Amino acid sequence: MRGPAKFLTYALLLGGAAVFILPFAWMLSTALKPLDQTLAQPPEWLARRYDARLGGRLQEVRPGALVTEPSLWARMRGAAQPVVLAAASVRGGAWQPAAGPAMPVEVLKTIPASASEPWREISDLSGGQKDVVPASSVSSHISPRWENFPRAIRAMRRFPRYLANTLVLCVLNVVGTVLSSALVAYGFARLEWRWRDPLFGLLLATMMIPFPVVMVPLFALFRWLGWIGTLRPLWVGSFCANAFNVFLLRQFFRTIPGDLSEAARIDGCGEFRIFWQIILPLCQPALVVVALFTFMGTWNDFLGPLIYLTDERDFTLALGLRAMQTTGSGGSEWNYMMAASTLVILPVVALFFVAQRSFIEGIALTGTKA
Amino acid sequence: MTGDRRRTWLGLAFVSPWLLGVAAFTAYPVAASLYYSFCDYDVLSKPVWVGLLNYRDMASDSVFWKSVGNTLIFNLMALPLGLVASLALALLLNQPVRARGVFRAIYYLPSLVPAVASAMIWLWILNGRLGLLNTALGAVGVHHPPQWLGDPAWTKPSLAVMSMWGCGNTVVIYLAALQGVPRSLLEAAMIDGASAWDRLIHVTLPAISPVIYFNLIIGIIGGLQVFVSAFVMFGGPGPDRSVLFYAVYLYENAFEYRQMGYACAMAWMLCLLILALTWLASRSSRRLVYYQGE
């Protein structure tokens, strides 16, 4: 590539990368902020802590509005909290609101505000005590609120249960899918038998059936079995092989030379032993891909748990995250909501970095060979 | 003869888990679904045969047609957007750039994010008053930015753009396909004086056209069943039913109104819709897809 083309390529790639990272960055940024900073306008990226002298001692404060016009910090009669008053409206110590009766005020501070040195309203963390001080006397430093994570876990109420349920389902689905799909794929790939090809055609055909078609009868079936409200509908089926994974593994199994099995057979090795001790170890990369995608599919699944799980104690993380948003205070406490989302995403991201190669190869395989 | 029979039993034994599964979790449900679609059925009591009533109701159900329209409009936005974006990113990544693995990881990662978590992130970013997008727009002087999730005109475009965030999966597929384009073809075109654009249009794209076609079909099948993002972000049909997608309305019928028969009939219509659209896609792209060795 020559100069301008090269520059354009990198500019587009970097710009695109920034856009793709932005939602992650904003999630993490929000997750680490105190609640009132999530409402800041314009948005702030880094969680800050503000300290100032309030009530005679240096403490963490909540910063309020900036005061840039000459004003008074005054307490109205009968009011508990002082407020900022535009200086122009005070005549002879009595506040003259634009409409309504005049109200006597007690002037606490005059604010000789100018553009070069604004003042800032501050309050303690509960908002009970207020003051106004020169903005420069409010010190701030970056301070991520890591405690938001344990708090988000508490806000999600049954987080440990959700996590345990999700992990149980992941393990069962991975074990079930890998074992059964490999077994079935072996039958289709490496054995010659009578009804093999028509049955394999049927297997391919089942991949075309959209889930909504079988959704209602499956629900009725599981209800008849008394499985609604248990985890069973979400894992039992995985032990019956998944058509797509069978297809994928079959493609892999067929690449291994037939002589290998033939030699083992001559040595008196049984078919199951050939499968278990010769073919499976050779196809480990493909098995890893199937395991990874099954794990991801289970971890991310929403519709299945939504349909079959009725008791909150059986919820998975995906369902729990939504429950937090719709029933708890999560709908407004965005810092906790984002902290919880981070926790749900983190294992997936970690898994990707551990097994990046298998992921990329697996995706490319499913896309180009299928 | 006995050996033949033994081999058949052996084969059946190996595929028996699937045989069991396909009977219980596919064949029976498909047959039952077809039967229920001609019944009044609420799962609690026995299905009552009503003939074509569900299908006739569908034809006169304005909400059903709204859901069909929503789904088609959404896909008309999301599919081309996703196709162009992922192809463009893959073409960029296919250039001899440094740190290709890092870029690829960045583009791929969002597609791994659980749909519910992704919905939460975008709910927050697209929040009308406090969201990053609108506060940023406010900071550059746009004082009345759209209510992305509150204005029926903007909900579908918002979801379409959001779905682009997860296009990394397709990027990786395209990238793998691009790396399989025969080098000799590109070099021959170069020697003949073809420009980079000509090489893209006349060599690269035809060479990967089966993969584009594959992704289009997968995109149509998945796009017609779009559910989680709309259901989680709007908790249902959304403002003015603007995100009442087909699958959302189907779910509501089945599990909120307990009209399981109607839901089954809808599922079969979805099947037909998918078949019709994939047939249309394959018809219209037959001339455009190039298979090597044909």
Q: Can you tell me the distance from the alpha carbon of B180 to that of A90, in angstroms, rounded to the nearest whole number?
A: 79
pLDDT of residue A89: 67
Question: Is A251 in the same domain as A291?
Answer: yes
Residues contacting residue B221 through CB under 8 Å, at least 6 positions apart:
A210, B274, B278
Q: Does a structural domain hold residue A112?
A: yes
Largest CA distance in chain A: 112
User: Of the candidates A10, A27, A188, which has its C-beta nearest B15's C-beta?
Assistant: A188
The C-alpha atoms of residue A302 and residue B229 are separated, in whole angstroms, by: 10
Question: Which residue of A30, A187, A217 is in closest CB contact with B14?
Answer: A187
Q: Is residue A82 part of a domain?
A: yes
Model confidence over B88-134: pLDDT tens digits? Answer: 999 999 988 889 889 999 999 999 999 999 999 999 999 988 889 99
Give the pLDDT confidence score for residue A6 in this predicted structure: 87
Q: Per-residue pLDDT for B272 more than 60?
A: yes
pLDDT in tens, A30-82: 999 998 888 887 788 899 899 998 878 888 888 888 887 777 888 877 777 88
More confident residue, A104 or B62: B62
Q: Are A203 and A243 in contact (CB under 8 A)?
A: yes
pLDDT category at A94 given cuts 50, 70, 90 is low
* A213/B30 CB distance under 8 A: yes
The verdict on A177 and A283 lying in the same domain is: yes
Helix/strand/coil for B147: coil
Rounded mean pLDDT of B178-188? Answer: 90
For chain A, what's the residue count?
Answer: 370
Q: Is the pLDDT of residue B294 over 50?
A: no
| Mean pLDDT over the full length of chain A | 88
Specify the pTM: 0.89
Asked if A193 lies within 8 A of B11 by C-beta distance, the reply is yes
Which one has a higher pLDDT value, B175 or B1? B175
Instruction: Summarize pLDDT for A121-130 with one digit per residue, the tens.
Output: 888 888 778 8
Residues A303 and A174 in one domain: yes
Q: Where are the beta strands (DSSP E) in chain B?
A: 39-40, 48-49
Percentage of residues of chain B with pLDDT beyond 70: 98
Question: What is the predicted ipTM?
Answer: 0.91
Under a CB-based contact definition with an 8 Å cutoff, are residues B159 and B230 in contact? yes
For range B207-217, the mean pLDDT: 90
> What pLDDT, on the 0 to 100 scale, is given for residue B174?
93
Nearest chain B residue to A40 by CA distance is: B130
Kindly give the interhelix angle for A3-31 and B100-108, rounded to the nearest 10 degrees: 40
Residues sharing a CB contact under 8 Å with residue A56, sequence separation 6 or more, in sequence order: none
| Total count of domains within chain A | 2
Which of A95, A117, A145 terminates a domain? The answer is A145
Radius of gyration of chain B (CA): 24
Please state, as a whole number, how many other Cβ atoms lie within 10 Å of the Cβ of residue A63. 18
For the ranges A231-235, A362-366, B231-235, the maximum mean pLDDT occurs at A231-235
Write out pLDDT tens, residues A198-249: 999 999 999 989 999 999 999 999 999 999 999 999 999 999 999 999 999 9
Q: Is the pLDDT of residue B245 over 80?
A: yes
Say if the Cβ atoms of B17 and A326 lie within 8 Å. no
* A162 plus A101 within the same structural domain: no
Q: B157 and B73 in contact (C-beta within 8 Å)?
A: no
User: Of the residues A145, A171, A200, which one is the last residue of a structural domain?
Assistant: A145
Look at residue B150 and give its three-state secondary structure: coil
Q: Are residues A116 and A241 in the same domain?
A: no
Backbone angles phi, psi at B145, to 5 degrees: -65, 160
Asked whether residue A337 is domain-assigned, the answer is no
A355 located within any domain: no
Tell me: pLDDT of B34 over 60: yes
Contact at 8 Å (CB) between A98 and A85? no
Task: Name the more confident of A281 and B128.
Answer: A281
Give, for A131, the enclosing helix (H) or strand (E). strand A130-134
Cβ pair A13, B97 in contact under 8 A: yes
* For residue B161, pLDDT beyond 80: yes
What DSSP line would sit under B226-252, residue for residue? Answer: --HHHHHHHSSS-GGGTT--HHHHHHI
Strands (DSSP E) found in B169-232:
none
Residues A352, B112: C-beta atoms closer than 8 Å: yes
Cα-trace Rg, chain A: 32
Asked if the model's pLDDT at residue A370 lies above 50, the reply is no
Say if A32 falls within a structural domain: no
Out of B36, B122, B270, the one facing A217 most closely (by C-beta) is B36
Closest CA relative to residue A152, chosen from A315, A320, A316: A320
- What residue segments make up the domains of chain B, in order of their start? 56-285
In tens, the pLDDT along B41-76 reads: 998 899 999 999 999 999 999 999 999 999 999 999
Give the chain B residue whose CA is nearest to the CA of A217. B29
Shared domain for A289 and A239, answered yes or no, is: yes
Residues in Cβ contact with B245 at an 8 Å cutoff, skipping those fewer than 6 apart:
B67, B70, B71, B74, B226, B227, B230
Homologous superfamily of B56-285 in CATH?
MetI-like (1.10.3720.10)
Binary contact (B169, A363; C-beta < 8 A): yes
- State the Cα–Cα distance between residues B167 and B82, nearest whole angstrom: 6
- Determine the Cα–Cα distance for residues A147 and A92; give it in Å rounded to an integer: 50
**Which range (A141-155, A269-283, A325-339, B30-44) has the least confidence?**
A325-339
pLDDT at B293 over 90: no
Q: Which residue of A has its CA nearest to B97?
A: A10
Q: Which segment of A106-120, A188-202, A263-277, B276-290 scores lowest on mean pLDDT?
A: A106-120
Residue A1 lies in a domain: no
Are both A199 and A259 inside the same structural domain? Answer: yes
Q: Which of B140, B195, B97 is nearest to A11 (CA)?
A: B97
Taking each helix axis from N to C terminus, what angle separates A317-326 and A159-189, rounded to the nearest 10 degrees?
Answer: 140
User: Among residues A77, A151, A142, A84, which one has the least CA distance to residue A113?
Assistant: A84
What's the CA gap between B293 and A185, in Å, rounded?
A: 28
pLDDT over 70 (residue B146)? yes
Quote the pLDDT of residue A101: 57
Domain that holds residue A260: 156-328
Look at residue B235 and tell me whether its pLDDT is greater than 90.
no
Let me know whether A235 and A309 are in one domain.
Answer: yes
